[in-house]
């Protein structure tokens, strides 16, 4: 009886504790690799693609917003397929992981009206931050040597 009373007395305290964080697992990454919610990215996440002149560090920064706006101004009718991971490798500790695969996309260049259609290879790196698995880095490179470098966050 004492155990039940003690457990009931501690219940409000136990319920107020934060939930245990999410280690990196193949299932977690497969489920969230296409989720663009900033809560799944580390504050210092690194991003680079063939469309950028230089990498962007921090996906919740002014530089990231400016880069996205510039790309949106340069493209219309953009279609982006989900990332298709070919392989996901997770460290046995669950503290780090990486995934690689491809993504298909297409758009029309506003300046020329030219239709661009290609697949890109990607590599993502995941790490545990404050107990939760977060995207730490992602790189995309068009397959077939397509030149896309047009966006820069700075004028």
CATH number, residue 43: 3.10.450.50
Q: How many CB atoms lie within 10 A of CB 47?
A: 19
Position 12 pLDDT exceeds 50: no
Average pLDDT (48-73) is 87
Residue 5 lies in a domain: no
Average pLDDT (73-81) is 94
> Per the structure, how many domains does the chain have?
1
Residue 97 lies in a domain: yes
pLDDT band at 5 (very low <50, low <70, confident <90, very high): very low
Residue 44 lies in a domain: yes
Residue 51: per-residue pLDDT:
85
Residue 25 lies in a domain: yes
Residue 64 lies in a domain: yes
Residue 78 lies in a domain: yes
Residue 149: per-residue pLDDT:
52
Give this prediction's pTM.
0.78
pLDDT band at 129 (very low <50, low <70, confident <90, very high): very high
Residue 10 lies in a domain: no
Residue 9 lies in a domain: no
- Domain region containing 62: 21-142
């Amino acid at each position: 009886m004492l155990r039940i009373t003690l457990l009931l007395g501690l219940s409000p305290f136990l319920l107020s504790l934060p939930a245990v964080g999410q280690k990196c697992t193949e299932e977690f990454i497969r489920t969230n690799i296409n989720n663009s919610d900033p809560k799944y990215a580390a504050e210092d996440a690194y991003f680079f693609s063939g469309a950028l002149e230089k990498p962007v560090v921090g996906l919740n920064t002014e530089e990231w917003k400016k880069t996205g706006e510039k790309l949106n101004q340069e493209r219309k009718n953009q279609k982006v397929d989900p990332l298709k991971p070919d392989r996901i490798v997770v460290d046995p500790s669950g503290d780090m992981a990486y995934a690689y695969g491809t993504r298909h996309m297409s758009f029309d260049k506003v300046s020329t009206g030219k239709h661009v259609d290609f697949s890109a290879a990607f590599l993502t790196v995941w790490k545990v931050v404050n107990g939760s698995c977060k995207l730490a880095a992602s790189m995309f490179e068009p397959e077939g040597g397509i030149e896309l470098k047009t966006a820069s966050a700075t004028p």
